[in-house]
Structure 1
Amino acid sequence: MSTDPRPEISKGKAGRKFPRRFFGDRRGSTAIEFAMLALPFALLVFAILESCISFAGQEVMANVTDDVARQLRTGQLKQADMTGTKLRDMICSRLEIVVAKTCPGLLVDLREYPTFADAATAGFKIAGGEIVLTGTPTTTFTVTPGLAESKNMLRVFYKWPVMTDFLAKSMANLNDGNTLHFASAIWQNEPFDD
């Protein structure tokens, strides 16, 4: 006869109670629910941040384009001032608040048109993931501003990098996972001294 006061537990009964005890225990449910919701929540936050930063970059570029166009229109910047890459460098220096230094992916097209109707035919398309100018005498990007009282159009393109991988599929329309930011201004120069 045994003198052990503990009751004998059959292994069969303990084995049957384990699943009921395991699934009935609610102490870890908050941690499991958090783990299931953390990833979708983080993805949503990153998508919102990516979209906001991209929109801010587009707005800065539009403001810079308008400001440079005003300086060209009023004669503060003249044809002689726009040699080489000076216009691109001027726009880049103002965009560096939201883009990488030296503005990789920045393209600038400034040209004179005989009439506003001719300027209205100028366009662009994305072909093979690259920007192609259409409706202009040449399809290469050029900087040829007009003299006083001439009609001009400035177009600024920036290949904005999409950083969140899952957004790249829906936002990117250029090569290398970039999306196009575009701003333009058209005007007639004032009668300033050339």
Structure 2
Amino acid sequence: MSKEVGPTDEHQARRPRFFSRFLRDRRGSTAIEFAILAIPFALLVFAILESCIAFAGQEVMANITDDVARKLRTGQLRAADVAGDNLKNMICDKLEIIVSQDCPTQLDVDLRQYTTFADAALAGFKIQGGQVILTNGNATQSFTVAPGPAESKNMLRVFYKWPIMTDLLAQSMGGNKTLHFASITWQNEPFGN
């Protein structure tokens, strides 16, 4: 008795040959390998670009903070020059080379006088709910712009909520902003009040 081969038996016999031919065939392997590696490579490139741009933004903000502090220290800028939103607008005008138009809303500035450098060293901040909260020891403080007179000790702190441009990085960091921070403490020169 001979056994007849049915359509299902023939199909099962072809299956091992098809898979073995598929595994031996190398014609499309380069395209498949590129497709597998393209996504991680693109993510790496975007992460490097994002980091470089953010670092450049941080450095520009630190230089602007130093420049404003030098002008305050030497008396080129007085309390009336930085009153209200003037200081914030002054910093935003210089930051516009690298940030978008939402600078005034994303920028927080604190400028205040301290009795001693030890008192200034107690100044800190914490982040709660995405907002910067200034502290001095255990007490919280509000943002203010109140520079001291000649020979006073002052501290300028600048906070900017930097937007993350790459959506995938924003999701991995839990939001679409990172905080850039610059600070400088100095004693004013003996300029005439």
SS at match of 1:117: helix
Partner of 1:180: 179
Check the 8 A contact 2:133/2:140 in 1, yes or no: no
RMSD: 2.2
Partner of 1:129: 130
Report deviation, 1:98: 1.2
After TM superposition, list the pairs within 5 Å mapping 1:96-111 onto structure 2. 96-103=96-103, 104-111=105-112
SS at match of 1:146: coil
Partner of 1:3: none
TM-score (norm 2): 0.85
2:28 aligned with 1:28, yes or no?
A: yes
After TM superposition, list the pairs within 5 Å mapping 1:41-190 onto structure 2. 41-103=41-103, 104-135=105-136, 139-168=141-170, 171=173, 176-190=175-189
What count of residue pairs does the alignment treat as equivalent? 181
Check the 8 A contact 1:62/1:184 in 2, yes or no: yes
SS at match of 2:165: coil
Identity of aligned residues (%): 69
SS at match of 2:141: coil
Q: Distance in 2 between matches of 1:131 and 1:20?
A: 62
Amino acid at match of 1:15: R
Q: Distance in 2 between matches of 1:74 and 1:117?
A: 22
Check the 8 A contact 1:92/1:102 in 2, yes or no: no
Q: Distance in 2 between matches of 1:75 and 1:113?
A: 17
Report deviation, 1:171: 4.5
Unaligned runs of 5+ in 1: 1-10
SS at match of 1:110: strand
Report deviation, 1:160: 1.0
Q: Distance in 1 between matches of 2:159 and 2:80?
A: 23
Amino acid at match of 2:142: T
Report deviation, 1:158: 0.5
Check the 8 A contact 2:74/2:188 in 1, yes or no: yes
TM-score (norm 1): 0.85
Report deviation, 1:170: 5.5
Check the 8 A contact 1:113/1:119 in 2, yes or no: yes
Q: Distance in 2 between matches of 1:89 and 1:102?
A: 11
Report deviation, 1:111: 0.6
1:43-99 per-position Cα deviation (integer Å, ceiling 9, x unaligned): 010111111111111111100000000000001101121222111000011111111
